[in-house]
Amino acid sequence: MTHVFVSPHPDDIALSCGGLVAALQRRGETVVIVTVFCGAGSSSTLTDYQRDALGFGAIATGATGAETGGQTGVTATGASSADAPSPDAAMAGRRSEDERYARSVGAAITFLNLPDAVFRGYEGEAQLMGMPRPDDPAPIEALARELGRLKPKHVYFPLGVGNHVDHQLARAAGIALLGGPHDEPSGSVAVGPGLLGRLLFYEDFPYAQRVGFERLEQLPGHALATMPHDVSLAPEYCELGDLLDRKVEGIRVYASQIDSQFGSDGAMAEAVRSRASRVGQLGGIDPAERYWRAISS
C-alpha cells in the first residue's frame, strides 16, 4: 500500500509527519515523498534575504535579515558574500538533506523542483506568510501527474497552519484534487478518481507549535473556503511512543535548518516532544501526530 506525502519544502515531512512515516516503515508499507518547491528558478545569486530564509545564515554585514516564516533570526557566523552558495547550490544542498532523510526511513523521493517562494518574489514575513499572489497558481497539474503515476492509497497534504504561501498552495492543490477529474481553464487534468476518503491533511510543524494550533477554526477563513460543501475533515491520531525518538533523529538530518528553525538541537527535540504531548492531550491519548481526513459529510 503506497502512501504519498506532499512536502512543500525539503524538511516538511520529517518535521510534520516523521512519526507516521516511521510507523509506516515499521509496518513495511511503501512511502513516497514528493517535494514541491525545492528549486531555485532562474535566480543567479542569492540575496541576503533568500540566504537567511533558506537557512544558510545571514551574511555578516551587521544587518539582520528580515524575519522569515516565523523563524528566529539567524546568527551570522562569519559568513561573507564570498561564501554565499549559488541559488542552485543552496537548493541542491536542501534536496540532498531530503534524500538522506528519505533513505534513512526507506522512502522513495521525487523532486518537482518548482522554485521556492523566495525565488518567486515573496520577500519578508508579511509576504511569505500572507496570501499567495493571484499570478502564483497552486501546483495542481504537477501534483496530479505525480499522483496519477504513483497511484497512492493514501495521500498527505499540508493543512497550511502558519500560512506559509508554499504550504497554502500545496493545500489548495490537495483541495482541488479531492473531487477527481476537473476542468481547469487551461485544460483538463487526468487525476483518476478523486482523493476523497484517501486524502489527509497534516499539521505543519513547527508552525502549529508556534501558533498554538488546536482547532480547525483557528485557520483563516479563506483556508478551507474552496473545500466542497459536502466534505468535512475528521481528526485521526498517530500515537508516537518510541517513534518520537525516531522523529527527532529524522529532523536532525536537516542540519541546515535546525539552528534557524529552533536555535539548537536540544530546543528542536524539546519542541517536537512538547507539540506531540499537546496533540496527544487534545485526543486524550499519549504523545501523537494528528491528521485530518477529508470525508464526505
Cβ proximity to Zn ion, 11 vs 146, nearer residue: 11
Cβ proximity to Zn ion, 23 vs 117, nearer residue: 117
Task: With contacts defined by CB under 5 A, name the span among 8-16, 211-219, 261-269, 277-285 that binds Zn ion.
Answer: 8-16
User: Which residue in 206, 197, 201 sits closest to 162, CA to CA?
Assistant: 206
Per rule CB under 5 A, is residue 94 in the interface with Zn ion?
Answer: no
Cβ proximity to Zn ion, 8 vs 250, nearer residue: 8
Please answer whether residues 169 and 139 qualify as being in contact, where contact means their C-beta atoms are separated by less than 8 angstroms.
yes
Per rule CB under 5 A, is residue 116 in the interface with Zn ion?
Answer: no
Q: Is the peptide bond before 206 cis (omega within 30 degrees of 0)?
A: yes
Per rule CB under 5 A, is residue 18 in the interface with Zn ion?
Answer: no
Take residue 162 and report the three cell numbers written for it. 502558519
Work out how close the CB of 69 gets to Zn ion at its nearest, in angstroms, rounded to a whole number.
Answer: 8
Cβ proximity to Zn ion, 23 vs 53, nearer residue: 53
Cβ proximity to Zn ion, 125 vs 239, nearer residue: 125
Please answer whether residues 39 and 87 qualify as being in contact, where contact means their C-beta atoms are separated by less than 8 angstroms.
no
Per rule CB under 5 A, is residue 98 in the interface with Zn ion?
Answer: no
Per rule CB under 5 A, is residue 69 in the interface with Zn ion?
Answer: no
Cβ proximity to Zn ion, 12 vs 48, nearer residue: 12
Helices and strands in the chain, H and E counts: 10, 9
Take residue 267 and report the three cell numbers written for it. 530546543
Task: With contacts defined by CB under 5 A, name the span among 7-15, 76-84, 250-258, 275-283 that binds Zn ion.
Answer: 7-15
Per rule CB under 5 A, is residue 287 in the interface with Zn ion?
Answer: no
> How many CB atoms sit inside 10 A of residue 280's CB?
18
Take residue 12 and report the three cell numbers written for it. 516538511
Per rule CB under 5 A, is residue 10 in the interface with Zn ion?
Answer: no
Work out how close the CB of 154 gets to Zn ion at its nearest, in angstroms, rounded to a whole number.
Answer: 20
Work out how close the CB of 194 gets to Zn ion at its nearest, in angstroms, rounded to a whole number.
Answer: 26
Per rule CB under 5 A, is residue 12 in the interface with Zn ion?
Answer: yes
Torsions phi, psi for 104 (to 5 deg): -65, -25
Per rule CB under 5 A, is residue 146 in the interface with Zn ion?
Answer: no
> How many CB atoms sit inside 10 A of residue 274's CB?
12
Per rule CB under 5 A, is residue 152 in the interface with Zn ion?
Answer: no
Torsions phi, psi for 68 (to 5 deg): -125, 120
Number of residues that bind Zn ion (CB under 5 A): 3
CA of 148: how far to CAs of 10, 11, 175, 293, in Å?
22, 24, 16, 20
| R_g over Cα of the chain | 18
Q: What is the DSSP string of 168-196?
A: HHHHHHHHHHHT-SEEETTEEE---S--T
Per rule CB under 5 A, is residue 247 in the interface with Zn ion?
Answer: no
Per rule CB under 5 A, is residue 203 in the interface with Zn ion?
Answer: no
Grouping H, G, I as helix, E, B as strand and the rest as coil, residue 48 is helix
Among 4, 5, 6, 8, binds Zn ion (CB under 5 A): 8
Per rule CB under 5 A, is residue 48 in the interface with Zn ion?
Answer: no
Per rule CB under 5 A, is residue 9 in the interface with Zn ion?
Answer: yes
Interface positions with Zn ion (CB under 5 A): 8-9, 12
